[in-house]
Amino acid sequence: MNIVEIKDLSFKYPEDKKRAGFELKVPELSLARGSSLALFGASGAGKSTLLAICASLQKGFAGSVKLFGTQLSNDRCGADGEAVSRMAILFQDAPLFNCCVYENISIGLQIRKTPRAEIKRRVDEMIEKLNISGIAYADAREISGGQAKRVCLARLLVLKPELLFLDEPFYSLDAINRSQIMHELKRLSAEAAIALMLVTHDKNEALALCENLAVMDAGAIIRYGDIKSCFNNPKSETEARLLGRNMVFYGQVTVCSDEVAEIECVTENESAPLTFQAAADYKKGDRVCLMISPQDLSVSPYEGGGGKSQASSALNCFEGEIVSAAHYEFGMLLNISTGGGFVFQAYITSRSYESLGLGPEKKVKFFIKATAVKSFLMP
């Protein structure tokens, strides 16, 4: 049974609002009981607006939005009492009320007129589960960002929601807190069979928490499906770039045999083509778009010789020069130019970067497996 059902939804911000002119259009979207969906896309794609509409916090839409089978009204925010009482929403900025942590956690229950003894039982239980008993009576404005997020999460989970809306909930957290809270959320939502609708532009968050993905761009859902399938097989350039496949090339199939297509690509200056091997079944002459992720490049120092390395099973082997190297969260991001306007990006660990003696202006060889070269037929 679907707990969120959208049909022919459209929404435009009023002329006097900051985002006037933006239009959200969702012909169809649903979320089944106990399942999870990530709304994924760049900032301004309409993810949070869609989430707010589903959570009965944004009015003025056209079309049909059903929450737990109840048609959401276009009246004032939070007017859909019965449906709203079965969901909860976790915001990006962890807003806390100007009182102690314990009081903060119990506010939702107080508003829903839960008996006092039941409030105490549920709050005590949640404080224990989220391991925040040490700050239970601390001033909520004095606790750290990670603790504040836990308190917000506790405040929602005590309500025993059937559906949890998450609006970029880990945005302001450091890596350790993000990982811990993400896992706590995953565990607690699985325990209570809570459905999740997550707004994010972080691939790891989406993969960790959700089984389905809706990729959004400019107010529309451009892809919907199983999360792994969406991330592994983008169907358009926009989708590919949004899903982190930074390298997109266009080319023509020259040979295709044994489910491996040889594709000749040129950049805009068309000076020196590069030939890629992609695991795909095309006909000679087909025009295709290729997409490669920086994680799929394997880099080694250049030691002379050319062509494919015999020591590697990767069908694509190129030579190039490192034009820049920058630190990122888990290592280094290299920009490698092969000439002819082709620039590749590769993520490698700092340890590999140092042990291989890599650096700017160093010549390198890099390998890409044919199965890592994702492609689709151009219209």
Partner 1 sequence: MLALRSMDIIYSAFIKCFGLIIGMDPYLLEVTRLTLVISSLSTLASFVIGVPAGLVIAQSDFAFKRLIVSIVNAGMGLPPVVVGLVVALLFGRSGVFGGLDLLYTRTAVFISQLIIALPMACGLTIAACGEVPRTLKLQLDSFGAGVYQKSFYLAREIKKSLIVIAMASFGSVISEVGAVIMVGGNILNETRVLTTAIVSEVRVGNYDTALGFAFILLALTFAVNYAVAVITPGKKSGA
Give the separation between CA 207 and CA 213, rounded to whole angstroms.
9
Span near partner 1 by CB under 8 A; candidates 53-61, 130-138, 204-212, 306-314: 53-61
For residue 175, what are its two tokens? 């890596």
β partners of residue 25 = 10, 220
Q: Which of residues 3-22 bind partner 1 (CB under 8 A)?
A: none
Give the separation between CA 188 and CA 150, rounded to whole angstroms.
12
Q: Which is nearer to partner 1, 89 or 263 (CB)?
A: 89
Give the separation between CA 295 and CA 49, rounded to whole angstroms.
32
HEC string for 213-266: EEEEECCEEEEEEEHHHHHHCCCCHHHHHHCCCCEEEEEEEEEEECCEEEEEEC
For residue 73, what are its two tokens? 């009204």
Which of 76, 176, 304, 379 lies at the binding interface for partner 1 (CB under 8 A)? 76
Q: Which of residues 284-313 bind partner 1 (CB under 8 A)?
A: none
- What is the dihedral angle through the alpha carbons of 347, 351, 354, 355, rounded to the nearest 10 degrees? -110
Q: How many CB atoms lie within 10 A of CB 345?
A: 16
Q: How far is the CB of 73 from partner 1 (least distance, A)?
A: 13
Q: How far is the CB of 48 from partner 1 (least distance, A)?
A: 11
77 touches partner 1 by CB under 8 A: yes
Q: Which is nearer to partner 1, 67 or 243 (CB)?
A: 67
For residue 203, what are its two tokens? 């691939």
| # residues near partner 1 by CB under 8 A | 27
Q: Which is nearer to partner 1, 25 or 86 (CB)?
A: 86
Q: Which is nearer to partner 1, 57 or 343 (CB)?
A: 57
Q: How far is the CB of 70 from partner 1 (least distance, A)?
A: 13
Q: Which is nearer to partner 1, 149 or 223 (CB)?
A: 149
Q: How many CB atoms lie within 10 A of CB 329?
A: 7
Give the separation between CA 229 and CA 378, rounded to whole angstroms.
20
Q: Which of residues 80-139 bind partner 1 (CB under 8 A)?
A: 81, 84-85, 87-89, 91-93, 95-99, 107-108, 111-112
Q: Which of residues 138-167 bind partner 1 (CB under 8 A)?
A: 141, 159
Q: Which is nearer to partner 1, 141 or 327 (CB)?
A: 141
**DSSP sequence for 144-167:** -HHHHHHHHHHHHHTT--SEEEEE
272 touches partner 1 by CB under 8 A: no
Max Cα-Cα span within the chain:
78
Q: How far is the CB of 128 from partner 1 (least distance, A)?
A: 22
Per-residue interface string for the shown chain with partner 1, residues 237-266, x marking contact by CB under 8 A? ------------------------------
Contacts with partner 1 by CB under 8 A lie at: 52, 55-57, 76-78, 81, 84-85, 87-89, 91-93, 95-99, 107-108, 111-112, 141, 159
